[in-house]
Structure 1
Amino acid sequence: MRLEKDLLGEREIPAGVYYGIYTLRARENFPLSGYKVSYTLIKAISLIKKAAAEVNSELGFLPQDKARAIATAAEEVMNGKLSDQFVVDALQGGAGTSTNMNVNEVLANRAIELLGGRLGDYDIVHPLNHVNKHQSTNDVYPTALRIAAIWLLKPLSESCAGLQAALQAKEAEFAGVIKVGRTEMQDAVPVMLGQEFSAYAGAIARDRWRLYKVEERLRQAALGGTAIGTGLNADRKYIFMVNDRVRQYAGIGLARAENMIDVIQNADVFVEVSGLLKALAVNLGKLAHDLRLLSSGPMAGLGEIRLPERQAGSSIMPGKVNPIIPEAVNQVAFHVMASDIAIAMAAQSGQLELNPFMPLIAHHLLENLSILTNAVTILNEFCVQGIMADSERCQLLLAGSQVSVTALVPHIGYDQASKVARRAMKAGISVRQAALELAVLSAEELDAVLDPRAMTRPGIAGSQK
């Protein structure tokens, strides 16, 4: 064990760990969820620490050897080393200070080790005086969250592009499969299965574009604003240089916010991003519901499409295979939509110059970005790409429905068409047969008007105009 002290007293720390007394207290104070802080956020904070150490050294505020050691330690953490040393619960009081200090202590102790010292010898490298120099949790944490969110937005956008392409491929593949279109779970008018998939592709295309554009909203960084955005205790040259260095290392178009007080206290940009994630979740959920419905049965349901079989579905019913991928995607959608409420409430509840609930925002936002990427990926690769159409089933259901009666309305009027529909339904005969019996049109005219494929295109079926 080693002994460390803070303003509250002394504590024994396990000799081999890289975190220190602040992290130990935070670990004890927040036994809440068991959720780990997103490692993407840890990487982003470490990137900022690396940039800050280098800039502080170049400006003469840090000795070169200490700065190099801190930068090396930060690089190691960014590459996944010491990941087991970040032990604070994701849900924590203090606006993220516990996470920031966890990083400060780990980097300080690793830097001490690199310089040949013993862990906990903060005379060599201090978590606050050296690693955190010219910084505050209040400017580091929201900046790191913006970086982490942008990093995670990119793979999500790419996964949406893949799903969109797969849906468009199915649109082309199913272009010739005609079926019953339904509104309010009731038979409506004919539609091509490919047309249904074109609507799914269109929704995901909008999500992809919105996510691509929202990155711009996250590029305003608070770094250099320190405690409340005024920049107190941060050298002016440092403020400009560190933002340039972070932008270079992060590989994104990060820019110093013109109003850092605004960026530190207001979290509405994260609400905006979360809202777009919710929109994606809504579209994914609707798509997943539709796939489950269209594949239902398969013999006693709609059964118009066949989903890829992924695993046995029941411990009691032999041969049953369930639509597990859409079901899993639905659950992700529910989770993301619920998390959006938590993010909105946390953003609204910040007071005056700081939002103390940033850890909750960070946890839900980064988790939602990650699980949505996974959900979109499995929906694409494990489900959509392998969907097959049962064209015979589609034709059978279409033939047994009354959906073609709508095409009669422009020719005989709504009331007469309603009589045809009622007669066909009561007598159990086709719309064409009922129309012939009621003598509303000739057989030749009915053949033209009741062509189901003509009903899937704009215009009046059977019209010569």
Structure 2
Amino acid sequence: MNSRTEHDFVGEMKIPNDKYYGIQTMRAMDNFYITGTPLNTEPFMVKGLAYVKKAAAMANADLGIFEREIADAICFACDEILDGKYHDQFLTDLIQGGAGTSVNMNANEVIANVALEKMGHKKGEYEYCHPNNHVNCSQSTNDAYPTAFRIALLKRLSIYKSSLAGLSSAFRRKGVEFSNVLKMGRTQLQDAVPMSLGSEFNGWANTVAEELGRIDSAKNLIREINMGATAIGTRVNAPEEYPDLVTKYLVKFSGSPLFLAEDLIEATSDTGAYVQLSGVLKRTAVKLSKIANDLRLLSSGPRAGFNEINLPRMQPGSSIMPGKVNPVIPEVVNQVAFYVIGADTTITMAAEAGQLQLNVMEPVIAYSLFNSIIFLSRACDTLRKKAVDGITANPEYTENMVMNSVAIVTLLNPIIGYEESSSIAKEALDTKKSIHDIAVKERKVVTQEKWDELFSFENLINPTFIRK
């Protein structure tokens, strides 16, 4: 195979000539086989790096740091990557030592070699366009990597937000569909008071919709970048005008509403925005898992469980029990939630583990946040398409459960008082008689007319205070 020889201060390596990455990417591939998940599995991160390098090239050219011809070639390479080309050259593992240096150099090398070919040179002829001197000019991994990461997060969060909004809308549609389905509400898994099945689904719609605002708040923190900070925030090796200029180009190219941090030293070492975002994702995961638990309970049975709703039948549920169908979609949502909750612990510990002017654990933060966002997006879409949209109700069964429940005695409290209601409840439990028969027919403490008023469908699902 044709190859070229590249060097760094550690030594020399042979690089296959068909590869656009170089020696530092090769070293990283040798050193870090951890997740088996290469950088190109998160295309937004690859594109985030391209945005950063393009903006830096334009700023450096504007400031006269290097020739416009070099900047144009770098911008060409970045545009190619933004169009989806050369992603197969971004192969460093997402979890790596070095605070993301290997990811940054992977981008620098690929962009340099694409630029070299555009300029009419061969790969590796770095005297014309160098990965460090030109592509990484006025930068450090410590500002380029987190800026690309934040751009990628903003793009990824937009997709997630759409998935979450779609799930909320699906619950709301079912809320309308089930608005006239009477059922028994429960607290501590015991009968409580009546409600409509529609109001239960509306509750889920609203609790999911609440998370959209939390995402926006977290995104505002992610928008802050430290481009121009270079190594530790002192702007070493970067022109004074560079941070503001490169930020303007980044906003223009990426379309993301980024802004430059006021304190670049603080921004370079701080990972609080990631902790905040992870906390928001965990909060949503907990909510989704609770909803999944409810769906599993309400669909349990079908003949020896709650049996209030029917989930779509997705697949046979057992290799030994014929006819068994399991709630596999809520189950997978539960498992995604467990992963996100665990990832939040990883992100918390990684953020805490930074020392002094840099947090070197950002790669595992990136890996964890990307996975959490992607998994939650897919979980929302899966729950909506394969469960919520196809849910049906069993209205006759649920209404019968309400009218045969002892718990409906609560509605008699304003009429006959708590003590009398408790006595009726005890007798109903002991004798298996209905609340109606004891209260209306036997004890005659409530008239049939008053009973009909209290236990009308409308009053059961939207109770009003009814006097004696």
> 1:453 Cα shift?
4.1
Match of 1:25 among 22, 27, 35: 27
Instruction: Show CA shifts across 1:406-433 (max 9, x none).
Output: 1122222223212211211121111111
> 1:197 Cα shift?
0.9
Q: Secondary structure at the match of 1:190?
A: strand
- 1:220 is matched with which residue? 224
> 1:400 Cα shift?
2.6
> 1:92 Cα shift?
0.7
- Paired residues of 1:178 and 1:191 also in contact (CA < 8 A): yes
Q: Does 1:392 align with 2:396?
A: yes
Identity %: 44
Q: Does 1:352 align with 2:361?
A: no
Match of 1:310 among 307, 314, 333: 314
- Paired residues of 1:210 and 1:276 also in contact (CA < 8 A): yes
- Paired residues of 1:307 and 1:387 also in contact (CA < 8 A): yes
> 1:451 Cα shift?
4.0
- 2:82 is matched with which residue? 78
- 1:256 is matched with which residue? 260
> 1:224 Cα shift?
0.6
Instruction: Show CA shifts across 1:366-392 (max 9, x none).
Output: 221222111112212222122111111
- 1:7 is matched with which residue? 9
Match of 2:48 among 38, 41, 44: 44
> 1:27 Cα shift?
1.4
272-281 or 109-118, larger mean C-alpha shift: 109-118
- Paired residues of 2:218 and 2:273 also in contact (CA < 8 A): no
- 1:288 is matched with which residue? 292
Instruction: Show CA shifts across 1:161-204 (max 9, x none).
Output: 22222111111111110001111111111110011011101101
C-alpha distance in structure 2 between counterparts of 1:398 and 1:449, whole Å: 14
- Paired residues of 1:181 and 1:189 also in contact (CA < 8 A): yes
> 1:459 Cα shift?
3.2
> 1:238 Cα shift?
2.2
Q: Secondary structure at the match of 1:65?
A: helix
- 1:459 is matched with which residue? 464
313-322 or 197-206, larger mean C-alpha shift: 313-322
> 1:210 Cα shift?
1.4
C-alpha distance in structure 2 between counterparts of 1:365 and 1:207, whole Å: 17
127-136 or 415-424, larger mean C-alpha shift: 415-424
- 2:450 is matched with which residue? 445
C-alpha distance in structure 1 between counterparts of 2:47 and 2:198, whole Å: 44
Instruction: Show CA shifts across 1:324-367 (max 9, x none).
Output: 22112111111111111111111111111000000011111122
User: Equivalent residues in 2 for 1:263-282 (5 A)?
Assistant: 263-282=267-286
C-alpha distance in structure 1 between counterparts of 2:455 and 2:169, whole Å: 34
> 1:318 Cα shift?
2.7
TM-score (norm 2): 0.95
Q: Does 1:211 align with 2:211?
A: no
Instruction: Show CA shifts across 1:49-97 (max 9, x none).
Output: 0111122122222222222221111112222212221111111111111
- Paired residues of 1:175 and 1:193 also in contact (CA < 8 A): yes
- 1:403 is matched with which residue? 407
- 2:101 is matched with which residue? 97
C-alpha distance in structure 1 between counterparts of 2:467 and 2:147, whole Å: 62
Query: For this pair of structures, how many residues does the alignment match?
Result: 463
- Paired residues of 1:190 and 1:453 also in contact (CA < 8 A): no
- 1:117 is matched with which residue? 121
Q: Does 1:415 align with 2:410?
A: no
Match of 2:159 among 142, 145, 155: 155
- Paired residues of 2:281 and 2:340 also in contact (CA < 8 A): yes
2:232 counterpart letter in structure 1 = I
220-229 or 437-446, larger mean C-alpha shift: 437-446
